[in-house]
Structure 1
Amino acid sequence: MEFVRNHIWQILIVLNYIIALSAVATILHKKLNPTKALSYIIGLLALPFLGLIVYYLFGQEYRKTKIFNRKNVLNQSVVKKIQDTLELDTKTISAVEDLLDQKSKLIPLLYNNEKSKLTINNDVTLIKNGDAKFKLLFKDVKEAKHHIHLEYFVIKDDEIGSKLLNLLCKKANEGIEVRMAIDDVGSSISSKMKQKLQDSGVKMKPFMPVLFSKFTGKMNYRDHRKIVVIDGAIGYVGGINVSDNYVNANNKRYWRDTHMRIVGEAVKSLQILFFTTWDFVSNEELKISKIYFPEHNCKENIPLQIAASGPDTDWSNIMEAIFVAITNAENHVYITTPYFIPNSEIVTALQVTARSNIKVKIIVPKTSDSWIAEHATNSYLEMLLEAGVEVYTYTKGFIHAKTMVVDGVFSTIGTTNMDYRSFNINFEVNALIYNEGISAQLTKFFNDDLNDCEQLDLKSWQKRSRQTKLIEAIARLMAPLL
C-alpha cells in the first residue's frame, strides 16, 4: 500500500494509457472518418485523463450499437398496417417524380434508409414565429378529443410555457390522454409544476436523464425534436420550442423562426416517431391501438415525407437528404440556419453547386446565442464566399429557422441545424415537402428575411484580424462538442 501511495500518479498514468490504447484499437476497428479518428487518437494519447473523458462522452459511435430498440413499436400489427396503407401506387409516384425531376431521388433515398414513406393527402400551414405557432397550438390543444402527444427539446415553465402546461393539466383532468417526452438537458420545469402535471394525470418522462443514471455516458446525445400530435389528426414540427425566447411579445431580442402545422397522412408518421420515443422513455408496456391513427380526407394533396435521424438510425438520413437536394439543384438553393458548422460533405456540395453557376444563398445570424457557435460558423464562411456562395447575416435579432428551398419545387422544415451535432449526434426530425406552393411561401419568407440581412463581401471578410481568425479556428475544433 505504501508503494501505491508513493507512486499513485505513475500508476494512474499507466492505467490511463492502457485504457487509451484500448480505445485507440476500438477507433481503428470501427473505421471512422480518418480526420475524426485521428483527432480522437491524438486527444487520447496527448491529453491524459481528459482525452478519455472527451472520448467517453462524445466519441463513441452509438449509431451502430443502437441507443434504443424501436422494434417494440414498429413490429406492432397496428403500426405495420398503418405503414402499409401509406404505400403509393406507381402512377402517383410518377406524378410526383415528374414535378421534382432529379430531386425525386430523395423519395427512394429516405425510404431505403429508414422506410420513410411519401404521403400525398396532406394540408400544410407554414408558421412564421412563435406568436403565431402558440396561437394555433393552443386552439388545437383546447379542441383535443382523445390524446395530446408532445416531444420537445426545450419546455420551460416561464410565461408561455406555463400557459401550455396549465392547459395540458386542464385537458388531462377532462380525461384526455396527455403524454410528454422532454429532453432532460434542454428543458427546465419546476418541481411545483411537475407535481401539478402528475396530479392532473399528465404523463411526462425525461429523455436520457443525465444525473445518477445509467445513461450518463450518453449525455451528449439529446432529443432535439419538436413534435406535437393531437388526436392523430394534427401534427406540428419545426424549430420553435416552448419558451418565452420564442415569443416576441415577451422576448427582449427579436426571435425569427419557422414551424409548420400538418393535417393529413403525414401525421401518422409523426405519431409512429413519437411512440418510438415514448416506448424508450416510459419503460412501460406499450400497446398501440388504431384510435391513434384516424383516417384523413384532406382537401389538399401536398406530398411530403417525415425524415428522422439520430444515433439510433443506420444512416444520417436528414444530412444525406440535404446533400442530395443541394447536389441536384438546377437553379437555386436557399438555406436558413442558426448554426452553420457543417461536415466536409455539405461544404463540398455547396461549393460545387455554387461553382456550377447555380445560385446558392445562405442566411446565418450576425450575432448568435452562442459565442463559440458564432465563431465556429464564421470560420466556414470564407471558403463559401470564395466558391461564389452568397452569405447573408441576419441583423434584426436571432434567426433560429431551419429551412431550405431548392428550385422552387422542394423544401424542408424541421429541427435540423446545418451542423455536426444535428447531423451526427442529436435526434432530429424534418418534413421534406414536394410542392411548388409551399416552396413559394418559404421563398417569400427567405426574401423577406434578406431585407433584414447584411451581405458579406469576400474582400472585406478576408480582412478579419489574425486574432479573430485564430479564435474562429479554435472554435471550429470544438465543433463536435457544441
Structure 2
Amino acid sequence: MMSMLPTLGEAYYVLEWIIRLAMLAVVPFRRNPAATTSWLLLIFFLPLPGLLLFLAIGAPRFPRWRTARFRQLQPFFERVAIRLEQAAPPAPDTPADISTLAERLGYLPATGGNAIELLEEYQTVVDRLIADIDRARSHVRILAYIFADDETGRNVIAALQRATQRGVACHVLFDPVGSRKWSKRLQRRLEEAGVAVRAALPFRLLRARTRRDMRNHRKLFLIDGEIGYAGSQNLVSRDFRPGVVNRELVARVEGPAVAAMNAVFLGDWYLETEDLLEPNPAIPESAASSTLQILPSGADYRLESFQALLTWQVGEARREVVIVTPYLIPDESLLTALRTAVLRGVDVRIIVSSVIDQWLVRLAQDSYYDELLRSGVRIHTYRDELLHAKNVRIDGRLGILGSSNVDIRSFQLNEEVSLLLLDPACIARLEEIQRRYLSHSDEITRAQWRQRGRLRKLAENGARLVSPLL
C-alpha cells in the first residue's frame, strides 16, 4: 500500500509556494515599489532563505517601545523650538518655505546669529576638536557612527580623560556596527577614562528592532553647549581602510544652532537610556549673522526628512543643483526630479568619488549613470581620495551638509542629521568648496560610459535589483 504522506521534497515544494503566496500579501505593505520588487524577486527564487532574510531586515520600522519613547520626547523638542524661535529668530531674508518644511519634518527651527567654519582638512577637524575638548568647562557630548580605537580615536579619548579629570561630564554614543572592529576595546577605554558611554541601537534579543541593520549614522560633537561640529567625518584615522584615504567636510558652529544640535544628541541619549541629561539646554549667543537649521532624519520621524526636502528643492530649482555624495542610489521620485530639472534648463551636477570602498554599492550606483547622463545630468568623479563628504547646493537659496548620503539607506534606514545653510554668505563658501571638488574631478561622458563591457553591465543590473536592500 502506497504511503499518503508527502515526501520531504514534496513538503518543501509546498512550503516554498506557501511562502511565495503569503509574502505577496506581506511584502508590499508600507514599502516603496523598488523595495517591494527586490524582496519579491528574492523570495520567488529563494523562498526560505529570502523569508529568513526578510524577517531579519525586511521591515524598516522600530518596535513599539521605541516609538513610544520617541513620542515622550515631543514636549522636549517643542520647548527647545519655542525657546530658539524667541531667542534667535532667523534673518528676514531666510527662505521661509524651506525653513518651515524643515521644522515640520525635524521639529527644530532655523536660527539666526550663528558663526560657522567649513573645515575641509581631516586632521584640522581632529586637532580643533581636541583643542575644544581641552577647553571644555561643563560637558562634552559625542555621537559618532565610527569611533575607532586607533591613533585618532585614542587621541580623542585622551582629551576626554583630561576633561573628566577636570570635572567635565563626558558622554559618548557610538554605533556598534560602524565601530564593530573596535567596539569592546573602545567601550573599555572610554569607561576607564571616566566617560559615560552607550552603544546606539544595540542588538537586544528580547527587545530587538524589526530591522537589524537600521543604524545611527549621525556625527555630532558638542562642547559646553556652545560649540558644535556636524558633517561627514567619523573619529577614525583618515586611511583606516587600506588603500583608501577619506576626504570630508565638517562645519564647526558657534551660536544658537548648537542648542538644536544638542537637542538631537539629548534625544538620542534618552532613547537609549531614558535619561534626559538636560531638559532645557542653554541657548548660546554669538555676534555672527549666519542662519542655520538642524534637520534630523530617520525612522523615528514621520517622513524621510532629508529625502523629502532634497526632492522638493530639486523640483523647485531654477538655475543650479550640485550634489556631492560618496554613495548615489536615488529612488524614483528623486530621479524624476533630477530629470525634470534638466528639462527646465537647470544645470544639474553630481560629484561622486572615483575611489571605491564598497563594490556592491558602487555597482548599484553605476547602474543609474546611463539614464542620468541620457537625461542631461552631468556626473563628475573625484580623483585620488574617497570623497566621503556629503553636501548639496541649490540655486544659492539652500546649502546642506551632514551625514546623509543620497541613497535609500540614508533616506529610510539610518538615523542622520543635516545642517542647512540658509544665508548667501554660507552658501557661497560651500560653492567655493564644491568648485574645488570639480577642479579635481573628471566628467563622465555618455559616449565614454556606454563603452563599458557587457559583464560590467550585467553586474550593475544585478546590483541594482538588490539596491533597495543595501
TM-score higher than 0.5 here?
Answer: yes
Which residue of 387, 390, 406 corresponds with 1:399?
A: 387
Segment of structure 1 superposing worse, 225-234 or 168-177? 168-177
Aligned equivalent of 2:192 = 199
1:278 maps to what in 2? 269
Counterpart of 1:130, as a letter, is: Y
* 1:356-371 matches, cutoff 5 A: 356-371=344-359
Distance, in Å, in 1 between the alignment partners of 2:169 and 2:71 is 24
The residue that corresponds to 2:431 in the other structure is 443
Give the aligned residue type for 1:326. Answer: V
Q: What's the CA shift string for 1:186-241, capped at 9, x where partnerless?
A: 01436455333223321111122237564265321011100111111111110000
Partner of 2:256: 265
Once the 2 structures are TM-superposed, how far is the Cα of residue 39 of structure 1 from its aligned partner? Answer: 3.1
RMSD: 2.7
Assess if the C-alpha contact under 8 Å between 1:106 and 1:324 holds in 2: no
- 1:286 Cα deviation after fit: 3.2
> Which residue in 1 is equivalent to 2:125?
133
CA distance in 1, matches of 2:63, 2:113: 34
For 1:224-263, what aligned pairs fall within 5 Å after superposition? 224-245=217-238, 253-263=244-254
Local SS of the residue matching 2:112? coil
Q: Choose the corresponding residue for 2:408, options 420, 423, 429.
A: 420
What's 1:409 paired with? Answer: 397
The letter for the 1-side match of 2:276 is L
Asked if the contact 2:89/2:111 (under 8 Å) is kept, the reply is: no
For the pair 1:95 / 2:92, whether they are aligned, the reply is yes
> Aligned letter for 1:178?
C
The TM-score, its normalising length taken from structure 1, stands at: 0.89
**Matches of 2:357 and 2:144, distance apart in 1:** 19
Which amino acid letter does the alignment assign opposite residue 231 of structure 1?
A: D
- Range with bigger deviation, 6-15 or 432-441: 6-15
Of 187-196 and 347-356, deviating more is: 187-196
Offset at residue 176 of structure 1 (A): 1.2
Number of the residue aligned with 1:180: 172
The residue aligned with 2:161 is 169
Q: Give the Cα separation in 1 of the matches to 2:197 and 2:32.
A: 38
Structure 2 residue aligned with 1:37: 36
Shift of residue 428, structure 1, vs aligned partner: 0.6
CA contact (8 A) 2:176 2:183 kept: no
Identity within the alignment, %: 26
- 1:169 Cα deviation from its structure 2 partner: 2.0
Decide which moves more: 430-439 or 188-197.
188-197
Contact 2:84 2:283 (C-alpha < 8 Å) held by counterparts: no
2-structure distance, mates of 1:147, 1:328: 41
Q: Residue 72 of structure 1: CA displacement? A: 3.3
Q: Which residue of 2 aligns with 1:295?
A: 283
1:378 and 2:366 equivalent?
yes
Change (3 A) 1:217 1:125: same
Whether 1:325 aligns to 2:313 is: yes
Report the AA paired with residue 197 of structure 2. Answer: M
In structure 2, which of residues 107, 113, 121 is the aligned counterpart of residue 115 of structure 1?
107
Query: Do 1:44 and 1:52's aligned partners in 2 also have CA atoms closer than 8 Å?
Result: yes
Distance in structure 1 (CA, Å) of the matches to 2:89 and 2:283: 19
One-letter amino acid of the counterpart of residue 194, structure 2: G
Distance 1:190 1:379, change over 3 A: closer
Structure-1 separation of matches of 2:133 and 2:348: 39
Contact 1:130 1:246 in 2 (8 A): no
Cα distance change of structure 1 residues 407 and 88 upon mapping to structure 2, 3 Å threshold: farther
Structure 1 residues 2-39: Cα deviation after superposition (integer angstroms, max 9, x where no partner): x9x995565566556556654433334x3533343243
What secondary structure does 1:49 align onto?
helix
Q: Distance in 1 between matches of 2:13 and 2:158?
A: 54
Q: Check 1:9–1:412 CA distance in 2 against 1; reply closer, same or farther (3 A cut).
A: same
**Alignment match, 2:98:** 106
CA distance in 2, matches of 1:252, 1:355: 40
Counterpart for residue 53 of structure 1: 52
CA contact (8 A) 2:120 2:248 kept: yes
Aligned residue for 2:111, secondary structure, equals: coil
TM-score (norm 2): 0.91
Aligned residues: 466
Whole-angstrom distance in 2 between the partners of 1:25 and 1:421: 24
- Compare 233-242 and 252-261 and name the one that shifted more: 252-261
Q: Check 1:94–1:200 CA distance in 2 against 1; reply closer, same or farther (3 A cut).
A: closer
Q: 1:126 to 1:246 in 2, by over 3 A?
A: farther
Deviates more, 1:353-362 or 1:165-174: 165-174
**Residue 96 (structure 1) shift:** 2.5
Contact 1:122/1:300 (CA < 8 Å) preserved in 2? Answer: yes
**Given residue 422 of structure 2, which amino acid in structure 1 is its aligned partner?**
Y
Residue 222 in structure 1 maps to residue 215 in structure 2:
yes
Question: The residue matched to 1:372 in structure 2 has which SS?
Answer: helix
Gaps of 5+ in 1: none
The 3 A distance-change label for structure 1 pair 377 and 125 is same
Q: Secondary structure at the match of 1:244?
A: coil
Q: Is the 2:105–2:295 Cα contact (8 Å) retained in structure 1?
A: no
Asked whether the 8 Å contact 1:229–1:271 carries over to 2, the reply is yes
Amino acid at match of 2:372: L
Shift of 1:437: 1.3
Q: Which amino acid aligns with 2:267?
A: T
Residue 286 of structure 1 aligns with an amino acid whose one-letter code is: L
Residue of structure 2 aligned with 1:86, choices 47, 68, 84 = 84
For the residue of structure 1 that corresponds to 2:148, the secondary structure is coil
